[in-house]
Each structure stands twice: as structure tokens, then as C-alpha cells.
Structure 1
């Protein structure tokens, strides 16, 4: 590792709970000392959370291009694809540097969101798409702000900066669809359902499984973060792809 990472714990355990309304079960516990600053449990969970968000929102962006009934819904889909491809590249770039294990599939709760949206059609699809994604993005927005204002790790801070801009963009394009029920979205953001921990956590990847990569669109407008002092070869092997 060339001094890039000095662990204070033998290994970074995979997160046990990552609901979209939760950050961590142990807020400020430092689990590793790195050259980019201490890594806390909530820092680690945030990197996993950003990765998991892309694993369900990116495919739904593609579905919106096929099933959306208005130009605004299709445009929102394009923003999901573009933004999460860039965030995914950022997560895959910094995760090996911080010794963080990334999931290859979304959580059961997030898969439930996908099923609800994918199985609807017409205006009901537009409404489910806009409202579910507006609610989840609104919920994570506060988490990003907390991470950005409290983390002492510069890599996590850079990811939070990028995630803040992306999530705000996605909130905005969902609202521009005209399908968002703001009263419903606010209620669901502030009173999320009580779900078992297993529903809120993306499963750990199978040992030896290639990392899923969210491929950017042909003409992306979002770019991954530049990592100061990034070490060559730190990125993950880009296979297999979702694109």
C-alpha cells in the first residue's frame, strides 16, 4: 500500500445498516487512519450508500427513457444516468484507497422501489418515478450535508461535494416533471417506514465477483472527482458493466 492506508482495526466490517434515512449505527467511531485523514464508520457507510444509490437509480434512468410519457420525465432519466455514472466512478476510485468494500446490488428496500416503478405504466409510471426518487433524494440530502460538514477525510469530503451537486440536480429535475406531490414527499422523508435492518443494507459482494460498473452515457456532462495524490492502479477493474 506504500503507506497509503494504516488500519486501526484489522478489517473494515461491511456496514450492518444503510437505510436511506440512516447514516450509521456508530456516528463518529474512527475505524481507520489514512493519509487522507481518519475514516469514521459514517464516512465508510456514506461511500457505500452513494454506490448503492447508483445501483438502482441508474437502471431506472434507462427505464424512464423507455417508459416516460413526457419530455421532462425522460430528461430526468438522462440526469440519473449521467450523474450516477460519474458518482459510481468516484466511489470505485476512492473505495480501494480507503479499503472500503462496495456492494454490487442495491438493498432490498431499494429493489422494492425499482419494482414499484418498473411495474407501472403511463402516467402512473411518471408519478411513481418522480415521487419515489424525489423522496429518496430529499432524504439523502441532509445526510450529505452532515457528512460534508463533519468528515475529516478529504476523499470523503470530495465525494460529498460531488454527491451534493448531483442530488440537488436530481431533486430539481424530478420537480420539473410536474408529478411531485410535495406534501407526500415531505411526509415520507420525515416519517420513513420501520423496516428490518436486512432490508436497508445492500448485500456484501460475493468473494471474487467482478465489480459492477455503471457506464457513462456517450456524451456525459458529469465528471468523476479528481483525487489529489491518487495512486496509479487504485481503481477497480471495470467488469462487468451496466450500460
Structure 2
């Protein structure tokens, strides 16, 4: 295993491809009634977390395509770029419909993963790449299931379906690299160190800043959500939009 793996996970790891920690105690609180169903704080946080995940995993996939030294890592990198470009397009599609402000930069913790892997090469890069991404994707799997099984908002349900498929695919391709240390990775994903909330929170974009767009690869196989047929099926009363506030707790 790459020598930096233990340092990275010890210093940075928190189960947070999208973040599991939250400073809010009201994740089930309804913040708006929309035509797609009621929107809770947890729903809003989830949309922001999916966006934040792409803001670090998409560029890391691009780095992996340049620095990966094994076929497995190169293939996994393609999946990161392809999957997160489509998820990002979905987030950018539904966020204005729900009046959710999306970040343009990932959290400091997530940026830390990218910075550390940028400095590595060869087998060390491949190993840490596979383990960090297996850990973060594995940690969010249950969170996606919880959102999918509890949200009453049809747009959020559709995003959770897409995120579930994408995360499972990314878990699988990381495991296929043959580089995952399951004992250490699962330990880190289930017993993470606590980090300050500001390490887990992507900054809100400055007013007027253009929205960052994650461009799909030329040979993209993943597609954004098709929202036809979702309007009005959430059972909401419509009208009241949530305040355009990004999630306070993205890992």
C-alpha cells in the first residue's frame, strides 16, 4: 500500500464523498413545499453534496487519466469523469428548480485529497487513488439509500437513483483495480476521525460568479436526468421555494 495512504486517511478521512457529518439537527425539517413534493433540509444538503463530490472527483479522474500507471486505475478514472459529469448536469438542472445554491469549489477536506494525490506518482498514486475513492464512495452508499427511501420530493428521488447507480459503479471499478485494502478502507469509512465542520463545507460561490460546469467526455455513456413526467408527482402543494442557501455540511 502507498506510504502516504495511512497519512492521508489519518489526517483527512471522513466518510464523505458527499459527507455524512452534519451540523444541522433538523434534516427532516421541511423548508419548502414545491410542485415536486416537500423539500427538507436533508434533501437540500444531498443535492449540494452530490455537486461537491463532482467538484473534486471529476478533476481527480482527469488526473488519474494522466498519472495512472495501471489499466485498472485508468479505467476507474474514465468512470469518474463520465459519471460525475452526468451527475453534475443533473444537479445543475434541478437546483434552480428547487432554488438551491450550488458551490463552485469542493470542501477543504475534499480539496486536500486532490492536493495529496497530485503530489504522488506511480504505484503510490494508484494505490492511494483506489483506496481513498473506495473509502469515500463506500461511506456514502447508505446515505444515498436513506435519502432515496425517505424523501418525498420526486426530483431528489430521481437524483438519488442516479447517484446510487453512479456510486455503485465507482465502488466496483475501484475494487477491480486490485489495489483496495479492505481492512483499512472499511475501518476508515466506518470509524472516521472527527473534523471541524468548516473542513467539510464547500464555500458558497461569490455573487455573480459563473457556475462551474463539468464537461462530459466525448465518449460519454452516462446521461443526466430526464425530468419529463416528474412535474407534480411529488404530492407537494407548490408555491413556496426554499431559500437559496448551500448545504452547511458537505464532507
Shorter-chain-normalised TM-score: which range?
Answer: 0.7 to 0.9
Q: CA deviation at 1:24?
A: 6.4
Report the equivalent of 2:117: 117
Report the equivalent of 2:10: none
Report the equivalent of 2:224: 224
- Secondary structure in structure 2 of the residue aligned to 1:214: coil
Structure 2 Cα separation of the partners of residues 202 and 153 of structure 1: 24
Contact 1:30 1:41 in 2 (8 A): yes
Report the equivalent of 1:55: 55
- Secondary structure in structure 2 of the residue aligned to 1:149: helix
Over residues 106-127 of structure 1, what are the superposed CA-to-partner deviations in whole Å (9 max), with x where a residue is unaligned? 0001011111211111100001
Structure 1 Cα separation of the partners of residues 23 and 154 of structure 2: 19
Task: Structure 1 unaligned segments of length 5 or more: list them.
Answer: 1-16, 232-243
- Secondary structure in structure 1 of the residue aligned to 2:106: coil
- Secondary structure in structure 2 of the residue aligned to 1:212: coil
Distance 1:28 1:230, change over 3 A: closer
CA RMSD of aligned residues (A): 1.6
Q: What TM-score results when the alignment is normalised by the length of structure 1? A: 0.86
Q: What TM-score results when the alignment is normalised by the length of structure 2? A: 0.83
Distance 1:157 1:172, change over 3 A: same
User: Equivalent residues in 2 for 1:1-243 (5 A)?
Assistant: 20-22=19-21, 25=24, 26-228=26-228
Contact 1:24 1:45 in 2 (8 A): no
- Secondary structure in structure 2 of the residue aligned to 1:103: coil
Q: CA deviation at 1:230?
A: 7.5
Number of equivalences: 215
Task: Structure 2 unaligned segments of length 5 or more: list them.
Answer: 1-15, 232-251
Contact 2:17 2:139 in 1 (8 A): no
Give runs of ≥4 in structure 1 deviating > 6 Å. Answer: none
- Secondary structure in structure 2 of the residue aligned to 1:31: strand
Structure 2 Cα separation of the partners of residues 23 and 79 of structure 1: 28
Distance 1:18 1:173, change over 3 A: closer
- Secondary structure in structure 1 of the residue aligned to 2:188: helix
Contact 2:81 2:217 in 1 (8 A): yes
The structure with higher relative contact order (CA 8 Å, sep 6+) is: 2
